[in-house]
Amino acid sequence: MQVLKESVRQRIVTSARKEFRKKSFEKASMRAIASSAGMTVGNLYRYYKNKEDLFGSIIEPLYKSLTSLKKDIQSVEDDKISWLLQNLKDLQKEYRIEWLILTAGSAGSKYEKVLDNVYGLLQSTIKDVLEENNKEASLAAPVASAILHGLRTILQTEKKNSPEVIENFLQFMMSDMIDRVAS
């Protein structure tokens, strides 16, 4: 039995990240990933049982982090919006490519609804804060949508400066709202 090599696995993941980002989960090809990684498709299947398994190996660390936000926010006592946005910002910095793949190319995979869950968490957090301060709670949905869309746009267009641009965007979107809500 041949030993699976970590360097080969890394070549596969690098090629797969490019393929999934460029073409999405549904349109990505295991044949193209194998070719880009410099191996046969048969050898690729020795490392990953199918495309979903390979996709999961790339997305799962981000998925687990996003999933834990829902549980972790329950223990936050003050300024849940800032806590949540800081965590989303940190995850986008750490998992930039994975976030882009998830937002633009996860349809057809078991991860296709993950961002709906993130949107729901962001919306409900904003809504709770608005309600606690007797403000218009119906603003939560469009604000949450604008934030997630804005973050995705920044990640797509700002390769080098995305952390700074994200910081400025969130400051622009939220700092005045938090001040207005608190008054």
Q: Extract long-range pairs of 14-18: CB within 8 Å, 24+ residues apart.
A: 16/54, 16/55, 16/58, 17/58, 17/97, 17/98, 17/101
How confident is the model at residue 93, as a pLDDT?
87
Q: Provide the percentage of residues in the chain whose pLDDT is more than 70.
A: 95
Q: What is the mean pLDDT of the chain?
A: 90
Q: Which residue has the higher pLDDT, 167 or 59?
A: 59
Is pLDDT of 7 > 80? Answer: yes
How confident is the model at residue 3, as a pLDDT?
72
E strand or H helix at 155: helix 140-157
- Across 94-98, average pLDDT: 92
How confident is the model at residue 78, as a pLDDT?
85
pLDDT band at 110 (very low <50, low <70, confident <90, very high): very high
Residue 173 DSSP code = I
